[in-house]
Structure 1
């Protein structure tokens, strides 16, 4: 039986995932956490086979956290479970150490298939997304196409800005200075063809459900 930790700040979601996993008799949920700082201590204590992680769990920067978990807990497989658009976050999540990216709009059957694949050592991506990522998306001129060209750190900065964080807050969370944060904001404005910070944040919120 595979041991699972669920990191999600929505109790109903976490409880629902636990019930779904228990129904298979293949998984044992050994921990549920709702904030970033609790993840590491739970992983150290329980040594799970799988971590199911929500991107927006408070007090983490997701790509940085993924890399850290992969380094410190190499045998724990990470499944991202989120409402964020797959075409924007999935590939970078995989590159940062996740073994799969599952949308919260997925059916129960798809969710369980994805977790099983991850548990067996495979990598899970939605088939349509996998095909899209293999296409010539570099020529995509849409807003989604522009987001695909952002670096992992640029996405982190944008996500923090859209959640109301100030430059000072972001510099502390990402362990960079405020001048560097301002540089990232300038790059984001240019890459996303936004004329102001307000327009930039409005665009960002289009991709958060």
Structure 2
């Protein structure tokens, strides 16, 4: 659990860093922060390397972090950043389904999860909440999630059964990555990737590799077009 530093922060403007590989999202969120006189925007990052560099340089109070920063696994990145920069609160900003990723992000070390479908006011409220040392999840998402889950295929409904690593592999399959490319991306052997494939097939009920790839593609499209 992170140490609450609310009193120290309240004596000055909280410093905020934005990490998002989408220029539109990054610039839009940065503009929201700049318009609010209560905060200081200390930088914007487009990838893992730049995010770490700016965290070391500016030591921000809050990092607004897109869950999937390029091909980087956001959950593992959150764990890394939470360990290396415990004084910075991580507020995930994402279009990925909260009902699947929010709990995972919080377990990894994030202080909150804000859906990009939310309003500017909700974003500011989310920032204020994590600055106060509390956890934040998007309001009103529960009812929407129920409807989405009822209408979505089995893979979408049961994705929460996967481990973080299995979910990452599943997403990479959906993005069109082959076994060797996934192995290189994750720094593991192709045989290990195949083992993950088998675990995913069992957990999600896919009878064969073709069904796995179709389901992964469907999952990828669902999770990237909200």
Gaps of 5+ in 1: none
Structure 1 position 79 matched with structure 2 position 91: yes
* 1:17 positional shift: 0.8
Match of 1:45 in 2: 57
* 1:193 positional shift: 2.1
For residue 116 of structure 1, the aligned residue among 128, 132, 141 is 128
* 1:148 positional shift: 1.5
Question: Which is higher, the Rg of structure 1 or of structure 2?
Answer: 2
Normalised to the residue count of structure 2, the TM-score between the two structures is 0.82
Match of 1:207 in 2: 223
* 1:198 positional shift: 2.7
CA RMSD across the alignment: 2.3
Cα pair 1:192 1:200 within 8 Å, conserved: no
Deviates more, 1:21-30 or 1:111-120: 21-30
CA shift digits 1:61-103 (9 cap, x unpaired) = 1111111101110001111111111111111011011111110
Partners of 1:144 and 1:124 in 2: CA distance? 23
Match of 1:26 in 2: 38
Match of 1:145 in 2: 157
Aligned residue for 1:207, secondary structure, equals: helix
* 1:142 positional shift: 5.0
Structure 1 position 164 matched with structure 2 position 180: no
CA shift digits 1:107-127 (9 cap, x unpaired) = 111111011101111110124
Alpha-carbon distance change, 130 to 117 in structure 1, aligned in 2, over 3 angstroms: farther
For residue 93 of structure 1, the aligned residue among 100, 105, 113 is 105
Aligned residue for 2:70, secondary structure, equals: coil
Gaps of 5+ in 2: 1-12
Cα pair 1:35 1:59 within 8 Å, conserved: no
For residue 177 of structure 1, the aligned residue among 186, 189, 206 is 189
Deviates more, 1:85-94 or 1:198-207: 198-207
Deviates more, 1:158-167 or 1:68-77: 158-167
Cα pair 2:155 2:219 within 8 Å, conserved: no
Cα pair 2:156 2:219 within 8 Å, conserved: no
Structure 1 position 65 matched with structure 2 position 77: yes
CA shift digits 1:135-168 (9 cap, x unpaired) = xx9xxx9544311211111111112222222322
Count of aligned residue pairs for this structure pair = 203
